[in-house]
């Protein structure tokens, strides 16, 4: 689908070749006809192209053929030194000729050239007349107005004649040029102008993004990471994360889940259930054990510690992603030789990716703790007489406390390692290849 334009380009080649042959033989009429047929095919190809670079190249070719056809016809070829686009939003007001052209109309103007492919119907003629009135008013030295328009505008010859007589009274001559290529030319010029503007805007935005990314990444490495290393190192030695308060962090042994009193066998000889059973969703039965206060609480101490480190982990993932993108955009194109600097970039990237992946796993680890603890608590509630389940809860909480300390330590170590690695190799990371390669042989 991306090459749908190729058949039209292939179809244009025979016409353009014949046009060139007739041109060399000084046979203008068939040359013009073949040029126009070839241009029509190229215009169809242009509409199907997706690449801006290909469109720009084909635009140049089409204009070249159009100029040659115009030269053969005896007209002056089109030349546009500069173009300014004034976009008028749909359903907007306040875009009069005076407001649009106020910056270019002055007392030094002696001639005005108007390229307008559409002066065919009555209201279009009136618009041209209004424009002439404005120019005559704003440019007292004006002596000539030239209108180049399409062949369809010949039907308004009488209106143009009346306008010419009116302008003649002010010693201003009106020249009319009817050109059947004007529509194609203006369309191409607009397309080229818009394409260049979009490309320039996109390039400018991309350059701005890269500059902002570089500034933010360097700030992270040089300023933020050292501060984070100090903050995390301070947290490790904070009393809040000390093993000395482990007994305070671990929950009470009863977990707010009472152990039901055993029911003695009655005199009827039958075995009575130890607790009342209830049906659950899959049809099975389980013992219904009620908590003392209606809810089995979470470990508030561990929850507080995890809420404190969770934002740090999220920030670490974001920071690593930013550093990774910054280094990736600094990697030069693939070439043979002189890749020592690139290998340093790749080594730094591997360290950043490892840190990003581990930080993301820390977040997953925090979430899995709650799920695992909840499953164990349901076991305790279902089998309240089994002491091992209760002990497993205490061991899980102790393990999670150790994991929290480990997360803080690992984050500190990663930030310190990245700061050290990148600052030591900053020159090679930012400029992996020198401008003048010294021969190694």
Domain boundaries, the chain: 6-73, 97-178, 209-261+274-430
**Can you say whether residue 146 is alpha, beta or left, with left for phi > 0 and alpha for psi between -120 and 50 degrees?**
beta
Distance, CA of 135 to CA of 112 (rounded, Å): 8
CB 38 within 8 A of CB 65: yes
Structure tokens at 223: 């300023």
Residue with the bigger pLDDT between 119 and 219: it is 219
- Predicted confidence at residue 438, as pLDDT, reads 44
Q: How far is CA 176 from the centre of its chain?
A: 48
Residues β-bridged to residue 173: 144
Task: Average the pLDDT over each of 10-19, 139-148, 245-254 and give the range with the smallest value.
Answer: 245-254
Which own/partner contact pairs does 250-253 have at CB distance under 8 Å and 24+ positions apart? Answer: 250/299, 250/394, 250/397, 250/398, 251/297, 251/299, 251/393, 251/394, 251/397, 253/390, 253/394
Tell me how many degrees the CA angle 318-321-324 measures, rounded to the nearest 5: 150
pLDDT more than 90, % of the chain: 35
Residue 274 confidence (pLDDT) above 70: no
Q: Is 153 helix (H, G, I), strand (E, B) or coil?
A: helix
d(CA 150, CA 137): 27
Name which of 44-53, 137-146, 308-317, 385-394 the model is least confident about.
44-53
Backbone angles phi, psi at 327, to 5 degrees: -65, -40
pLDDT, residue 115, reads 80
Q: Quick one: pLDDT at residue 341? A: 85
Q: What is the model's pTM?
A: 0.55
Residue 267 has what pLDDT? 46
Q: What is the pLDDT of residue 214?
A: 93
CB 259 within 8 A of CB 385: yes
Q: What is the pLDDT of residue 23?
A: 87
Q: How does the average pLDDT of the chain come out, rounded?
A: 82
pLDDT band for position 186 (cuts 50, 70, 90): low
Class of domain 209-261+274-430 as given by CATH: mainly alpha
CA distance from start to end of the chain: 49
CATH hierarchy code of domain 97-178: 3.30.870.30
Length of the chain, in residues: 441
Mean pLDDT of 18-37: 85
| CB of 136 closer than 8 Å to CB of 167 | yes
- Please say whether the beta carbons of 430 and 215 come within 8 A: no
Stretch 368-397: mean pLDDT: 90
Segment 181-190 shows an average pLDDT of: 62
Least confident piece of the model among 228-242, 254-268, 370-384: 254-268
**Whether the Cβ atoms of residue 408 and residue 231 lie closer than 8 Å to each other:** no
DSSP characters for 372-429? Answer: HHHHHHHHHHH-TT-HHHHHHHHHHHHHHHHHHHHHHHHHHHHHHHHHHHHHHTHHHH
How far apart, in whole angstroms, are the C-alpha atoms of residue 312 and residue 232? 9
Query: Residue 351: its pLDDT value, please?
Result: 94
**With 80 as the cut, is the pLDDT of residue 204 above it?**
yes
Cα–Cα separations (whole angstroms), residue 423 to 109, 221, 223, 225, 426: 61, 8, 11, 11, 5
Residue 178: half-sphere exposure toward Cβ, Cα within 13 Å: 10
- 257 vs 238: which has the higher pLDDT: 238
Residue 73, pLDDT score:
67
Q: Tell me if 53 sits within 8 A of 163, measured CB to CB.
A: no
Q: Which one is predicted more confidently, 72 or 15?
A: 15
CA 229 to chain CA centroid, Å, is 32
Question: Tell me, what's the pLDDT at 305?
Answer: 94
Res. 352: pLDDT tops 90: yes
The answer, yes or no, to whether residue 129 has pLDDT greater than 80, is: yes
Asked if 63 and 78 count as a contact pair (C-beta separation under 8 A), the reply is yes
pLDDT at position 224 over 50: yes
For 337-360, what is the mean pLDDT? 90
pLDDT > 70: what percent of the chain? 82
| Band of pLDDT at residue 2, cut at 50, 70 and 90 | low
Query: If 0-12 CB within 10 Å is exposed, 13-18 middle and 19+ buried, where does residue 380 land?
Result: buried
Q: Is the pLDDT of residue 146 over 80?
A: yes
**What does the pLDDT read at residue 293?**
60
313-325: b or e for each residue (b if 16 or more CB lie within 10 Å)? beebbebbebbbb
111 DSSP β-pair partners: 144
Structure tokens at 402: 């150790």
Class of domain 6-73: mainly alpha
Given this model, what pLDDT does residue 441 score? Answer: 34
What is the residue-wise DSSP string for 252-307?
PTTTT---PPPPPP-TTSPPPPSS-EEE-TTS-EEE----TTSS----HHHHHHHH
More confident residue, 65 or 336: 65
Determine contact, residues 49/57, Cβ cutoff 8 Å.
no
- With a cut of 70, say whether residue 192 has pLDDT above it: no
CB-facing half-sphere around the CA of 166: CA atoms within 13 A: 11
Instruction: Tell me, rounded to whole angstroms, the distance of Cα 184 from its chain centroid.
Output: 34
pLDDT exceeds 70 at position 266 = no
Distance (Å, whole) CA 164 – CA 155: 16
pLDDT single digits (tens) 62-84: 888 877 877 776 543 445 555 66
Q: What is the mean pLDDT of residues 379-407?
A: 91
Least confident of 229-243, 248-262, 418-432: 248-262
Question: Which residue(s) pair with 113 in the sheet?
Answer: 146
């Amino acid at each position: 689908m991306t090459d749908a334009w190729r058949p039209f380009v292939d179809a244009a080649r025979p016409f353009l070749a014949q046009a060139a042959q007739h041109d060399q033989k000084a046979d203008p009429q068939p040359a013009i006809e073949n040029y126009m047929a070839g241009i029509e095919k190229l215009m169809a190809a242009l509409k199907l192209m997706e690449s801006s670079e290909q469109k720009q190249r084909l635009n140049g070719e089409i204009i070249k053929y159009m100029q040659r056809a115009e030269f053969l016809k005896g007209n002056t070829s089109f030349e546009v030194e500069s173009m300014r686009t004034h976009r008028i939003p749909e359903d907007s007001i306040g875009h009069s000729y005076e407001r649009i052209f106020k910056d270019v109309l002055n007392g030094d103007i002696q001639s005005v050239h108007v390229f307008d492919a559409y002066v065919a119907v009555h209201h279009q003629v009136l618009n041209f007349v209004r424009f002439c009135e404005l120019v005559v008013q704003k440019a007292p030295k004006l002596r000539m107005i030239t209108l180049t328009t399409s062949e369809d505008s010949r039907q308004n010859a009488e209106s143009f004649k009346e306008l010419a007589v009116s302008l003649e009274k002010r010693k201003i001559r009106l020249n009319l040029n009817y050109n059947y290529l004007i529509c194609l030319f203006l369309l191409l010029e607009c397309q080229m102008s818009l394409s260049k503007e979009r490309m320039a805007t996109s390039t400018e935005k991309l350059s701005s993004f890269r500059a902002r990314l570089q500034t933010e990444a360097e700030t992270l490495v040089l300023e933020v990471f050292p501060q984070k290393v100090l903050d995390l190192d301070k947290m490790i030695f904070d009393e809040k994360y000390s093993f000395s308060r482990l007994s305070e962090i671990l929950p009470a042994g009863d977990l707010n889940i009472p152990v039901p009193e055993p029911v003695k066998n009655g005199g009827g000889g039958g075995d009575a259930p130890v607790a009342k059973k209830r049906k659950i969703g899959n049809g099975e039965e389980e013992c219904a054990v009620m908590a003392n206060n209606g809810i089995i609480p979470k470990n508030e101490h561990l929850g507080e510690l995890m809420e404190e480190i969770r934002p740090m982990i999220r920030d670490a993932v974001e920071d690593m992603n930013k550093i990774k993108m910054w280094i990736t955009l600094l990697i030069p194109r693939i070439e043979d030789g002189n890749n020592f600097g690139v290998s340093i970039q790749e080594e730094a990237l591997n360290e950043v990716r490892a840190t990003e992946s581990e930080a993301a796993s820390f977040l997953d680890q925090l979430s899995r703790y709650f799920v695992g603890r909840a499953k164990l608590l349901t076991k305790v509630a279902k089998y309240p007489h089994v002491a091992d389940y209760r002990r497993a809860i205490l061991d899980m909480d102790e393990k999670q406390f150790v994991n929290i300390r480990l997360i803080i330590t690992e984050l500190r170590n990663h930030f310190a390692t990245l700061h050290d690695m990148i600052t030591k190799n900053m020159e090679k990371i930012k400029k992996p290849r020198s401008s003048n390669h010294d021969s190694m042989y």
